[in-house]
Structure 1
Amino acid sequence: MAPKIKAILETPVYVDDLERAHAFYHGLLGLSRMVEGDRIHAYDVAPGQVLIVCLRGACDADAEINGQRVPGHHSIGPAHFAFRIDRHDLEPWSERLAAAGVALESRVNWPLGGTSLYFRDPFDNVVELATAGIWPNDPLDS
């Protein structure tokens, strides 16, 4: 039996301009930047959860950190990831996105009771804001 995995720690997204990405992820979504480099920016999403914004092409090759190899990585085409929000924040988020000129592509009411808002970042990645009740292991709050 495999040892238990506790959580997803990092989610990468690949972009073509780190400063433009910062304007979106910090300016619009309100995430605090913890690391600023020429290849990546890392944002605090929640305790123990990190969004890594990677400059497309800059992370393809292996990197050396403290004399140790970090394998290169990349993604081709738009990615998708979701941030958790509270149900009472669905409308405030819809209004904030609209005020910023960010088109809401879809609003999905899931069979288990959760709701998702879908939109794109400036690099065509699909961003989702989701309440509890999307997945069986994340039921609606009672």
Structure 2
Amino acid sequence: MTPSAVLETALYVTDLVAAEAFYADVLDLSRISAVPGRHAFFRCGQGVLLLFNAEATRNPPPPDAKLPVPPHGTAGQGHLCFSATADEIGRWKSRLESLNIAIEADFEWPNGGRSIYFRDPSGNSIEFAEPRIWGL
């Protein structure tokens, strides 16, 4: 058996309020749920983006927890790539620049497909790329 798709992916953030605003207001993702100080979850196409306050997820759940999710988290900057067409990448670049969000890189991959990279408020590396960079 092989997994058919990634259902959710997580980024760990240092300022949950700023991250939540960035993903809702700048990237226009729809918020599914949030727990202040712990997490915010967003719909992204057929998947879900989980934003966690890294400090809050390192602790094990209490013995009587309704949802006994094990501790998890990471330190440092993560990476997430959103799928986009060439036209969408151009529009995203214009939108980000209009909001004074620096584009760190904008290039064509050797085998075809364009990517742009920028940072979220916690320093995570965010990318928009054409699926063809992976032959999709």
Aligned to 2:52: 54
TM-score by length of 1: 0.88
AA of the residue aligned to 2:120: D
Aligned to 2:114: 115
Q: How does 1:1-142 map to 2 (within 5 A)?
A: 3-38=1-36, 39-47=38-46, 49-63=47-61, 67-136=66-135, 138=136
Deviates more, 1:50-59 or 1:65-74: 65-74
**Corresponding residue SS for 1:44:** strand
**Corresponding residue SS for 1:63:** coil
Q: Distance in 2 between matches of 1:132 and 1:67?
A: 39
Task: Give unpaired runs (5+ residues) of structure 2.
Answer: none
- Aligned-residue offset at 1:132: 2.0
Q: Distance in 1 between matches of 2:98 and 2:61?
A: 39
Residues 19-53 of structure 1 show CA distances to partners (whole Å, capped at 9, x for unaligned) of 21121101000001101113111100112x11100
Displacement over 4 Å in runs of 4+: none
**Corresponding residue SS for 2:93:** helix
Residues 36-94 of structure 1 show CA distances to partners (whole Å, capped at 9, x for unaligned) of 113111100112x1110001200012236963421111111100110111211122111
How many residue pairs match? The answer is 134
- Aligned-residue offset at 1:4: 1.7
Deviates more, 1:59-68 or 1:110-119: 59-68
Cα RMSD between the aligned structures?
Answer: 1.6
Contact 2:54 2:75 in 1 (8 A): no
Q: Distance in 2 between matches of 1:68 and 1:13?
A: 20
Identity %: 34
